[in-house]
Structure 1
Amino acid sequence: MVLAPRVVVVHRRTELDGLLERHGTRGQAEFFLRTRGRTLADVQGRHDAQDAALGEVRAAVPGEWRRGDVERGDLYRFGFEPGDVVVVVGQDGLVANVAKYVGTQVVVGIDPEPGRNAGVLVTHRPREASDLLRAVVRGNAAVQSRAMVTATLDDGESLDALNEVFVGHPSHQSARYRIGAAGVVESQSSSGLIAATGTGATGWAASIHRERRAGVELPGVADRALAWFVREAWPSPSTATSLTAGRLVDGEALTVVVESDALVVFGDGLEADRLTATWGQTITLALADRTLQLL
């Protein structure tokens, strides 16, 4: 028996949802916003825009197809199927969240507020959903493979990220470690390091690159490459600063051996979803085997 295609719509709670949960009533939420120079009308408008976009996307799914729906907070326990078409309705960050949990499924980014957001991953409009879904199922949609970065501990734990992985002290103060790249190893003390993909090269990595004026070329969105940067390396009699930036391609890796009580590893700014490496453990950063299949 051949199963009908399944469309999984991913969304996140709006700011209004969070305010009402926190303050209990619309009146209390409005007072809170007013004390900060904001209005309930703006928050309500963005809530309504997302609701309207979700309604339009859901209505675009043919009646005979299967459907799934998941809020961002439940992604870690949602069972994606290999043939799913995953439709993300929200901002770019939600696509990065989804990337951690999907494999070869095609991800479609829908911007609920076209013209207001400057998204680079959610580039489609709600009204396009019907044509996009059918094109994906027919197999003639233009899909782009986006590289991901993986961080692996020597005990087998690992995590993947779409934009970048951060390694450093839990409080972002000085971390001690030994870093290794291209056969060169040195001890360092710094506020951590990041390894970024071409997708992430327009964010945190771009900021470091501009300030550092490093001679490392940032990867493009379609490149199978990573750029890595050490933040604020500190020279001392026991620590050096010669390995502070570089580029990795397939088959290459950056290693970090922990010489502090513990270092944390997290991806795409999600500090709550992190790995912890203790003294003597090795963290390996490299291109992930899997990619995000983005429409």
Structure 2
Amino acid sequence: MSLAPRVVLVHRTTEYEELVAHHGTHGQAAFFLSSRGRDIAEVAERHRLTRRALAEVTAAIPLTWRQSRVERADLDRFLFAPEDVVVVVGQDGLVANVAKYLAGQPVIGIDTDPGRNPGVLVRHRPTDAATLLPAAQAAGTGAEELTMVEAVADDTQRLVALNEIYLGAVGHQTARYRLGLEDDGGVVEAQASSGVLVGTGTGATGWLRSVWQERGATLELPRPTEGRLLWFVREAWPSPATGTSLVAGALSTTARLHVTVESERLVAFGDGMEADALELTWGQSVRIGIADTSLRLLG
């Protein structure tokens, strides 16, 4: 007998909850915000919208299904199961936060504040949940397979991200390393820079696009479902010992960027989550390319 599906509601603590927890009362939180030119009414309204969205999605879960909730801060300690349907209630970034912990489970993004969120990944309204949940379990749901990026170190550490992976020094100081493309005849260049950014088509709506636009790159940005990544070296520094000839490019399905660390400590983190990073020391190497897993997002 197979298990009934389980809906996992992923959410994050609202700004209002954080303020009240820190200041003790609504009134104290209101005073704190007013001293900085803000009105607590706006913060409380976003909190109300989030709680209402969670309630509406919860009410739409079929009675025979199981359910669970996990806050963003607890994602690294939560065990997702193969039969889960993951419902992210919040902002686009929350979908990216949960993506690295999944292994093919369908994901539904619920926008709690339409008009404020871009809605790139949280594409649905809370009222859509009643239709989307059964559809997530049906064959041929039409879910998009969003390409992800991974970094694998020589000591088997592995990091997966939906938007991008950044490799650089802690505190964004100068990073020193040797960089090469594994499918480029073994060409390797010693570099000193502000770090290396490798992003997906989903990341092309955020940090990757910012670097691409600032650079005036002629490379075409990848689509979210395309098996192609773009990479950029940020602020490469030319010197007698370091070069700037390998500063941007694309990675296909099998291509990998190979980086050997020549600093005391570098880190690689994904989707802005610096607290969850690969720690790399002098002489270690890391390979960055398309991950063998993708995010199944219901359109």
TM bucket by the smaller chain? over 0.9
Is 1:42 the counterpart of 2:45? The answer is no
* TM superposition shift of 1:173: 1.3
Question: How far off is 1:21 after superposition?
Answer: 1.3
Q: CA deviation at 1:144?
A: 0.1
Are 1:217 and 1:247, in contact at CA under 8 Å, matched by a contact in 2? no
Determine whether 1:244 maps to 2:254: no
- Does the aligned pair in 2 maintain the 1:250–1:287 contact within 8 Å? yes
The 1-side partners of 2:214 and 2:136 are apart by: 41
Q: Given the two structures, how large is their TM-score scaled by the length of structure 2? A: 0.97
Distance 2:199 2:138 in 1: 33
Aligned mates of 2:261, 2:140 — CA distance in 1: 47
Q: Identity rate of aligned residues, in percent? A: 57
Aligned-residue offset at 1:250: 1.1
Q: Does 1:93 pair with 2:93?
A: yes
Q: TM-score, normalised by structure 1?
A: 0.98
Report the aligned-residue RMSD.
0.9
Q: Deviations over 1:14-69 (max 9, x none)?
A: 00111011111111111111011111100100000000000000000011111111
Query: Structure 1 residue 140: deviation in Å?
Result: 3.9
**Superposition deviation, residue 78 in structure 1:** 1.1
| Mapped partners of 1:176, 1:72: distance in 2 | 33
In 1, Cα distance between the equivalents of 2:40 and 2:278? 38
Q: Corresponding residue for 2:139?
A: 139
Match of 1:169 in 2: 169
- Partner residue of 1:293? 296
Does the CA contact (< 8 Å) of 2:152 and 2:158 recur in 1? yes
The CA deviation at 1:216 is 2.1
Q: How many residues align?
A: 295
State the alpha-carbon separation in 1 of the partners of residues 2 and 154 from structure 2. 42
Quote the offset at 1:252 in angstroms. Answer: 0.6
* Residues 272 and 216 of structure 1: CA distance in aligned 2, closer, same or farther (over 3 Å): same
Amino acid corresponding to residue 91 of structure 2 in structure 1? Q
The secondary structure found in structure 2 opposite 1:129 is: helix
* Counterpart for residue 118 of structure 1: 118
1:68: which partner in 2?
Answer: 68
Unaligned stretches of 5+ residues in structure 2: none
- Structure 1 residue 257 corresponds to structure 2 residue 260: yes
**CA distance, structure 1, for counterparts of residue 218 and residue 192 of structure 2:** 22
